[in-house]
Homo-oligomer: A and B are copies of this chain.
Amino acid sequence: MSNLWRVHTNKFVNERESIMRNGNVYQIANGYMGYRGTLDEFGPDELVGITLAGIYDRVGDAWREPVNAPNGGFTQVALDGAEISALSTGIKKHRQSLNLGNAVFERETEFKSKRKILKIKSTRFLSADQPNSGVIRYSLTVDQAARIRIRTGIDYNIWDLNGPHLLKLTPKKQDGILLVQGVTNETGKRVAVAEAVGLDFGKETHATNGKKNLRVITLNAEAGQTYTFCKYFAVFTENDPVTKPVSEAAISCVRQARALGYEVCLNQHNAQWAKKWEHCDVKIEGDDEAQQALRYSIFQLLIVAPVNGSANSIPARALSGQVYKGAIFWDTEMFMFPFFLYTCPEKAVELMRYRIKTLDGARRKAKTEGAGYRGAFYAWESQESGDDACTYFNIGDPFTKRDLRTHFRDKQVHISGDVAIAMWEYFKITGDDSLLLEGGAEVILECARFYYSYAYFKKDKNRYEILDVIGPDEYHERVNNNAFTSMVAKATFEIANAAVNYLKQRYPGQFKVLVKKMDIARELPLFVEAAGLLYVPQPDEKTGVIEQFDAYYKLKETTIEALKARMMHPHEYLGAGQGLAVPTKIIKQADVVMMLNLFTDRYSDKIKKANWEYYEPRTEHGSSLSACAYAMVAADIGKLDRAYNYFLKTAKIDIEAESKTYVGTIFIGGSHPAANGGAWMTAVFGFGGVKANAKQVAINPKLYKKWKSLHFNLAHQGDRFSIKITPKDVTVAADALNKSDHAFIVAGQSIVCTPGKLSFVKYHE
Contact = CB atoms under 8 A, between A and B. Distances in A.
Interface of A: 370-371, 392-393, 397, 399-400, 402, 404-405, 452-453, 456-460, 465, 467-468, 478, 480-481, 526, 550-551, 568, 576-578, 582-583
A371 B578 contact: no
A402 B457 CA distance: 38
A480 B371 contact: yes
B405 A582 contact: yes
A402 B453 CA distance: 38
Contact of A459 (B397, B526, B582): B526
A582 B402 CA distance: 13
A625 to B, nearest CB: 25
A311 to B, nearest CB: 31
Given A371-B551, A550-B371, A577-B577, A458 B460 contact: no
B578 A397 contact: yes
A38 to B, nearest CB: 39
11 contacts: A371-B481, A400-B568, A452-B460, A456-B465, A456-B467, A457-B459, A459-B526, A468-B478, A468-B480, A576-B578, A577-B577
Contact of A578 (B456, B458, B577): B577
Contacts of A582: 405
Nearest to A392: B583
Nearest to A453: B460
Contact of A370 (B405, B457, B550): B550
A286 to B, nearest CB: 50
A456 B453 contact: no
A359 to B, nearest CB: 21
A409 to B, nearest CB: 13
Given A399-B400, A452-B460, A459-B526, 20 more contacts: A370-B480, A371-B551, A393-B583, A399-B399, A400-B568, A404-B578, A405-B577, A405-B582, A405-B583, A456-B456, A456-B458, A456-B465, A457-B457, A457-B459, A460-B526, A467-B467, A467-B468, A468-B468, A468-B478, A468-B480
A176 B271 CA distance: 111
Interface residues of chain A: helix, strand, loop or mixed (majority): loop
**Nearest 9 Cβ contacts at the A-B interface:** A456-B456, A577-B577, A371-B550, A399-B399, A457-B457, A457-B459, A371-B551, A370-B551, A578-B578
A468 B370 CA distance: 13
A725 B393 CA distance: 55
A465 B460 CA distance: 14
Contacts of A402: 578
A583 to B, nearest CB: 6
Contacts of A577: 405, 577-578
Contacts of A468: 467-468, 478, 480
Contacts of A456: 456-458, 465, 467
Contacts of A371: 480-481, 550-551
Nearest to A478: B478
A468 B456 CA distance: 13
Contacts of A392: 583
A481 B404 CA distance: 24
Nearest to A530: B459
Contacts of A400: 399, 568
A578 B405 contact: yes
A713 to B, nearest CB: 46
A572 to B, nearest CB: 8
A512 B337 CA distance: 63
A234 to B, nearest CB: 45
Contacts of A578: 397, 402, 404-405, 576-578
Contacts of A576: 578
A36 to B, nearest CB: 36
Nearest to A477: B577
A482 to B, nearest CB: 12
A760 to B, nearest CB: 53
Counting chain B CB atoms within 10 Å of each CB, the highest count among A392, A397, A457, A578 belongs to A578
A494 to B, nearest CB: 19
A58 to B, nearest CB: 20
Contacts of A405: 577-578, 582-583
A399 B402 CA distance: 12
Contacts of A370: 480, 550-551
A404 B576 CA distance: 12
A272 B322 CA distance: 79
A96 B299 CA distance: 87
A370 B399 CA distance: 30
A113 to B, nearest CB: 53
A477 B541 CA distance: 35
Nearest to A566: B402
A397 B578 CA distance: 10
Nearest to A468: B468
Contacts of A478: 468, 478
A9 to B, nearest CB: 42
Contacts of A467: 456, 467-468
A405 B551 CA distance: 16
A400 to B, nearest CB: 6
Nearest to A456: B456
A465 B405 CA distance: 25
A583 B391 CA distance: 12
A457 B460 CA distance: 10
A456 B526 CA distance: 17
A526 B459 CA distance: 10
A475 to B, nearest CB: 13
A60 B480 CA distance: 33
A525 to B, nearest CB: 12
